[in-house]
């Protein structure tokens, strides 16, 4: 986390971050494919089953100190949607 002036700019969550976590918690198989292609495929299509996604969600929650909604991560969610959801939580004002 870096500060810029008085405003808090929160570290963004990127596709690279997501890919790193997926490999760590769900295991690597073959190359997932070009970034442009995987961003909008559902996780199930990308070969991640429910437990791998729960494990991924838990890891993101711990690493980024956020709490994802129960439906933020399931078979039909795409990496782009998850990345957006995480970034929305990261940029939300602290309460």
Partner 1 sequence: MTASAVVTGLGVAAPNGLGTQDFWAATRAGKSGIGRITRFDPARYPSQLAGEIPGFAAEELLPGRLLPQTDRMTRLALVAADWALADAGVRPADLPAFDMGVVTASASGGFEFGQGELQKLWSKGSQYVSAYQSFAWFYAVNSGQISIRNGMKGPSGVIVSDQAGGLDAVAQARRQIRKGTPLIVTGAVDASICPWGWVAQMAGGRLSTRSEPARAYLPFDDEASGHVPGEGGAILILEEASAARRRGAKIYGEIAGYGTTFDPRPGSGRPPGLRRAIELALRDARLEPSDVDVVFADAAALPDHDRVEAEAIGAVFGPRGVPVTAPKSMTGRLYSGGAPLDLSAALLAIEEGLIPPTVNVAPSPGYGLDLVVAQPRPARLRTAMVLARGHGGFNSAMAVRAL
Partner 2 sequence: MTGRRVVITGMEVLAPGGVGVEQFWSLLSEGRTATRGITFFDPAPFRSKVAAEMDFDGEAHGLSPQEARRMDRAAQFAVVAARGAVADSGIEMDRCDPHRVGVTLGSAVGATMSLDQEYRVVSDGGRLDLVDHTYTVPHIYDYLVPSSFVAEVAWAVGAEGAAAMVSTGCTSGIDSVGHAVELIREGTADIMVAGSSDAPISPITMACFDAIKATTPRTDHPAGASRPFDASRNGFVLGEGCAVFVLEERESARRRGAHVYAEIAGYATRSNAHHMTGLRQDGAEMAEAIRAALDEAVLDAEDIDYINAHGSGTKQNDRHETAAFKKSLGDHAYRTPVSSIKSMVGHSLGAIGSIEIAASVLAMKHHVVPPTANLHTADPECDLDYVPLTAREHRTDAVLTVGSGFGGFQSAMVLARTDRPERGAA
Applying CB under 8 A, the residues found at the interface with partner 2 are 49-51, 54-55, 58, 70
* Residue 61 contact among partner 2, partner 1, none, beta carbon within 5 to 8 Å by kind: partner 1
Q: Is 62 in the site for partner 1 (CB under 8 A)?
A: yes
Count of residues of this chain found to bind partner 1 when the rule CB under 8 A is applied: 14
Instruction: Report the relative pairing of strands 7-9 and 2-4 from DSSP bridges.
Output: antiparallel
Instruction: Report in angstroms how near the CB of residue 41 gets to partner 2 at its nearest.
Output: 20
């Amino acid at each position: 986390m870096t500060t810029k002036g008085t405003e808090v700019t929160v570290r963004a969550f990127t596709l690279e971050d997501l890919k790193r976590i997926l490999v760590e918690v769900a295991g690597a198989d073959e190359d997932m494919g070009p970034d442009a292609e995987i961003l909008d495929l559902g996780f199930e299509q990308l070969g991640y089953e429910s437990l791998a996604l729960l494990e991924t969600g838990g890891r993101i929650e711990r690493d980024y100190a956020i709490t994802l909604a129960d439906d933020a991560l399931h078979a039909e969610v795409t990496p782009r949607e998850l990345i957006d959801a995480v970034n929305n939580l990261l940029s939300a004002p602290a309460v």
